[in-house]
Amino acid sequence: MKNLSSKSRNGNDTVPPSGVLDRGLHLMNCFSLERPRLQLRDIAAQSGLDKATTLRALKTLVTYGYLEKSEDGYYWPGPATLRLAAIFRSTSNIVTRLERTVENIALETGQAAAFFIRSGDQRVCLIRDRQKRDFRYFVDVGASVPMSAGGAAAHVLAAYSGFDLDSEKAEFVLTNNYYISRGEKNEHLVSAALPIFEADGEFVGAAAITALRSTVTDDDIDRCIEVVRREISLAMLSTQAAAENDNAAF
């Protein structure tokens, strides 16, 4: 397993992982909503793996149903992924509960809406509205980005789950119960995030709306935040920490 060379065999300035399992899972990352169907050539190039290695892994992934392969040599995610997602949902019923809510928020505000949770040092998108928007700006459902990458949702998640990210912003979040980030991750975007709590006060995650800065005023954003608060409470959840001191502990 030589995997020599200073970085990049692909155009991605990333070294492909070593370890067969790592590599196999790494291959699955080549697929996205933007590019759901790929052929060997693309997958090998994008992953940085040798074509022979890639082919072997793909075969295995196909036999286990994680990928499907068509006659014309294209691969795409297979039905096994559905099975696992169904199990994931069953273990975190919050997804099912909030799906409709996120959709409503997007429809009412006309902006992109999403729901995030923290998982270790990652911020994971569990729900995205289904409106079609420019893919470049938004993460896929299930995708993770490091907390350190910031963004409105990250600061809310950090503040309420005790992750040390930016204490100043955390303080703002804890007193105001929302955070607005202007161009923090992307110059042209503004996003507002609110924490979400179970009825019993348990923190579950953050709802966020994202808009193009050039198309919204501060008042628009405030109105969006109100929409979020209303929809969240309709879902029998809260955007306010239950009591001042209970939630500081964990």
Partner DNA sequence: ATATGCGTTTCACTCAGTGAAAAATTAGCA
Partner DNA sequence: TGCTAATTTTTCACTGAGTGAAACGCATAT
Per CB under 8 A, residues contacting a second copy are 19-26, 28-29, 31-33, 36-37, 57, 60-61, 64-66, 68, 76-91, 95, 117, 119, 122, 124, 126, 140-144
Looking at the Cβ atoms of 207 and 227, the one nearer to a second copy is: 207
Looking at the Cβ atoms of 29 and 148, the one nearer to DNA is: 29
Of residues 73-112, those binding DNA (CB under 7 A): 73
Residue 81 contact partner, candidates a second copy, DNA, none, CB within 5 to 8 A by sort of partner = a second copy
* Nearest partner of 157 among 204, 93, 190, judged by Cα: 204
Task: Name which position in 56, 97, 133, 223 contacts DNA (CB under 7 A).
Answer: 56
The interface region with DNA, picked from 15-23, 134-142, 204-212, 240-248 by CB under 7 A, is 15-23
Which helix (H) or strand (E) segment holds residue 16: the answer is none
Main-chain dihedrals φ then ψ at residue 160, nearest 5 degrees: -95, -5
Q: Tell me the C-alpha distance between 175 and 16, whole Å.
A: 44
**DSSP 8-state class, residue 97:** H
Q: How far is the CB of 27 from DNA (least distance, A)?
A: 11
Q: How far is the CB of 71 from DNA (least distance, A)?
A: 8
Residue 80 contact partner, candidates a second copy, DNA, none, CB within 5 to 8 A by sort of partner = a second copy
Longest dimension (CA), the chain: 61
Task: Name which position in 57, 139, 170, 193 contacts DNA (CB under 7 A).
Answer: 57
Looking at the Cβ atoms of 128 and 155, the one nearer to a second copy is: 128
Contact 155, 166 (CB under 8 A): yes
Quick check: helix, strand or coil at residue 109? helix
Residue 72 contact partner, candidates a second copy, DNA, none, CB within 5 to 8 A by sort of partner = DNA
Q: Tell me the C-alpha distance between 139 and 132, whole Å.
A: 13
Q: Tell me the C-alpha distance between 111 and 102, whole Å.
A: 11
* Nearest partner of 221 among 110, 128, 99, judged by Cα: 110
Handedness of CA 119, 127, 36, 79 (dihedral sign): positive
Q: How far is the CB of 10 from a second copy (least distance, A)?
A: 18
Instruction: Give contact residues for DNA (rule: CB under 7 A).
Output: 1-3, 18-23, 39-41, 44, 49-53, 55-57, 72-73
